Amino acid sequence: MQPEPLAGLEAYPEAGAAPEAGRRRYRWVKLLAAGTAVAVLAGAGGLYYLYQQLDGNITTDTVTENDLNVHESERPTEGPTSAENILLLGSDNRGDGNGKYGQDSGTQRSDTAILLHLAADRHSATAMSIPRDLMAHVPSCDKPNGGKTAARFVQFNWAFEFGGAACTIRTVENMTGIRIDHHLIVDFSGFKKIVNAVDGVDVCLAEPVHDTKAHLDLPAGRQTLNGEQALGYVRSRHGFGDGSDTERMDRQQGFLGSLFSKVSSNGVLLNPTKVYPVLSAATSSLTADPGLDSLSELYSLARDIQRIPTGQVQFLTLPREQYTKDRNRDQLVQPAAGRLFAALRDDMPVTVTPDGKSDNGTAGSGTSESGKQDSGKPKSGKPGATGTPTTSGTPATTGPTYRGTTADADICGKA
C-alpha cells in the first residue's frame, strides 16, 4: 500500500504527475502570489507618490541660508551638544485668501516669534516667546528688493518686516547669544490647516468674546476651535482682557500647549489615517531652511517632540518690562533675561510656574511682567520683575524659575 501524501503537498505536484484538483490549487497559489506582488508594488508606488507629494509641498528658504552664510563670522558658535534651537515665525501674509484679515504696505510682518529649544537628551523642550514690541538692536540687513537697512535700536518685529527671516535670526542671536540651528515660517492659511487637520483644538474662555477685527465671536467656557476660530483666538488683542500683547502671548502659549497635548494623546504621529492630513497641512504651509525642508527631517523632528512628556514641554516669555522711553514698548529685564539665555545656550534646565515663583512661594530668578498694555495704561495685580536669585533651596539642576506654563496644564486652569 502506498503511504498517504502529506497534507498540502498536492498543491505543489511534479509536472504531469498531479491530479486535476492539485493542478487547480497550484494555479490559485500562483494567482494569489501574483496578486499579492501587484498589490505590494501598487501600495509601494502609492506611498512613494504620497511621500513625493508631501516632500514637494515644503518651500526651501535658500535666501535666508545664503544671507546667514555671508554673516557667519558674526554669529554665535554652535553649541557643544546635540541640543537644537529652532526659531518659529508666524507670517501675516495676506495672500492666499487672507485679505480679510487686513491690508498692509505690502511687506510681511511677524507678530509671533518663538525660540524652541530641544534639550540634547530630548527629554525636555522650552518654547520662549519674543514680544513683537521688545526694543532690540537690529543689525544692518539686506532688503528683499535690494539695498540695505541701517543698524538701529527699534522694536523687534521690524527685523522681519524690513529684512526678512535672516535679519530676525541675526537679531535673536545678537540678543541671546544662542545659535539658531533651524527656522520655520508658517502663514495664516497654514495655521488654519494644521488646526483643522487635528479636528480642532480645545480652549477655555472666562467670558464671551466678540472681536470684529479678529473675526471672532465665541461663547464662554470650554470649547473646540476650528482653524478659522483658532486663528482669530491667537491673533486677537482687543477682544480679551486688557488688550495687551502680554495676554496675547499667554494665550498663544496655552493654545500651543493644548495643541501639543492633543496630538500626543491621540497618537496622531503613530496613526497613518491621522498623520497624513497633519503632514499635508504642515508641509503645504511651511517655509523651512535647507536642514528642515524634507518630509523625513520634519517627521523626525515631530517624533522627537512627540516623545517628550507633556509636563516637560514648557512655554514662557522672555523677561521684559516697560521700556523707559516709551510705555508702549518693552525692554529686557536683567539679569533675569541673561540667566535665561545662558541656560538655553548651555542646555541647562529651566523651570516655569504659573506665577513665576519657586516651590516655597518666593519669587524666582526669572520672574517678570511687562507692566504695561498697548493702550499705555499700566496693568495691575501682576508681580513685577525681580531679577533676584531663588532662595527656595531647590537643587540647582532645576534651573532658574520663570512665569510660564507646560503642555500638560489644563486649558481651563484646573490642576
Judged against a pLDDT cut of 80, whether residue 137 lies above it is answered with: yes
182 touches 87 (CB < 8 A) = yes
Q: What is the largest CA-CA distance in the chain?
A: 110
Query: Which pTM value belongs to this model?
Result: 0.77
Looking at the chain, the whole-number percentage of residues with pLDDT higher than 70 is 70
**Whether the predicted pLDDT of 183 surpasses 70:** yes
pLDDT above 90 (res 277): no
Q: Could you tell me if 131 and 260 lie in one domain?
A: yes
Q: Which residues contact 165 (CB under 8 A, 6 or more apart)?
A: 61, 64, 87, 89, 183, 185, 287
Residue 256 lies in a domain: yes
Same-domain pairing of 117 and 233: yes
Half-sphere exposure of 187 (CA within 13 A, CB side): 18
CB atoms within 10 A of CB 391: 12
**pLDDT of 279-328, one tens digit each?**
888 888 889 999 988 888 887 888 888 889 889 999 999 999 999 999 98
44: in domain: yes
Q: What are phi and psi of 185, to 5 degrees?
A: -120, 130
Contact status, residue 71 vs residue 170, Cβ threshold 8 Å: yes
Task: From 77, 331, 329, select the one nearest 179 (Cα to Cα).
Answer: 77
Task: Write the single-letter amino acid at 102.
Answer: G
| pLDDT surpasses 60 at 119 | yes
DSSP, collapsed to helix, strand or coil, labels residue 291 as coil
Confidence category of residue 72, pLDDT binned at 50, 70, 90: very high
| Of residues 359 and 240, more confidently modeled | 240
Q: From the CB of residue 249, how many other CB atoms can be counted at a distance below 10 Å?
A: 22
Instruction: Kindly report the backbone phi and psi dihedral angles of residue 337, in degrees, each rounded to the nearest multiple of 5, phi listed first.
Output: -65, -40
Residue 11 lies in a domain: no
End-to-end CA distance of the chain: 81
CATH value at residue 122: 3.40.630.190
Residue 6 in any domain: the answer is no
Residues 313 and 381 in one domain: yes
For residues 241 and 346, state if they share a domain.
Answer: yes
Q: What percent of the chain has pLDDT over 90?
A: 33
Whether the Cβ atoms of residue 201 and residue 138 lie closer than 8 Å to each other: no
Q: Supply the pLDDT for residue 180.
A: 97
Distance CA(134)–CA(323), nearest Å, equals 8
Alpha carbon separation from 353 to 226, 321, 363 (Å, rounded)? 29, 19, 10
What total number of domains does the chain contain?
2
Q: Is residue 5 part of a domain?
A: no
Model confidence at 362: pLDDT above 80: no
pLDDT of 95 over the 50 cut:
no
Residue 184 has pLDDT above 60, yes or no: yes
Contact yes or no for 248/232 (Cβ under 8 A): no
What is the C-alpha separation between 39 and 45, in angstroms, rounded? 10
Judge whether residue 190 has pLDDT over 50.
yes
* Distance in angstroms (rounded) separating the CA atoms of residues 255 and 159: 25
Please give the residue range of the domain that contains residue 34.
22-56
DSSP 327-376: EEEEEE-TTHHHHHHHHHHTT---EEETTSB-TTSSB-TT-------TTS
| pLDDT tens per residue, range 1-43 | 554 444 443 444 444 445 566 666 656 556 666 555 555 445 4
Rg, Å, the chain Cα set: 27
Q: Is 203 within the bounds of a domain?
A: yes
Written as nine digits, the cell of 2 is 502506498
pLDDT in tens, 212-242: 877 888 898 999 999 999 998 888 876 676 6
Same domain? For 305 and 185 the reply is yes
pLDDT of 145 higher than 90: no
Helix (H, G, I), strand (E, B) or coil at 13: coil
Write the Ramachandran bin of 31: left for phi over 0, alpha for psi from -120 to 50, otherwise beta: alpha
Task: Out of 11, 30, 56, pick the residue that ends a domain.
Answer: 56
Write down which residue in 31, 56, 81 finishes a domain: 56
> Both 183 and 42 in a single domain?
no
How many other β-carbons are positioned within 10 Å of the β-carbon of residue 159?
A: 26
Q: pLDDT value at position 20?
A: 62
Both 173 and 267 in one domain: the answer is yes
Q: What pLDDT score does 109 carry?
A: 60
Considering the domain architecture, whether residues 42 and 89 belong to the same structural domain is answered as no
Q: How far apart are CA 336 and CA 368, in angstroms?
A: 8
* Type of residue found at 377: K
In a domain, 219, yes or no: yes
Mean pLDDT of 66-93: 89
Is 352 found in the same domain as 223? yes
Query: Nearest-CA neighbor of 127 among 364, 314, 373?
Result: 314
**Are 32 and 81 within one domain?**
no
Do 148 and 36 share a domain, yes or no?
no
- Which of 34, 56, 78 is the endpoint of a domain? 56
Residue burial 361-371, b: 16+ Cβ < 10 Å; e: rest: ebbbbbbbbbb
Is there a single domain that holds both residue 37 and residue 136? no
Residue 14 forms part of a structural domain: no
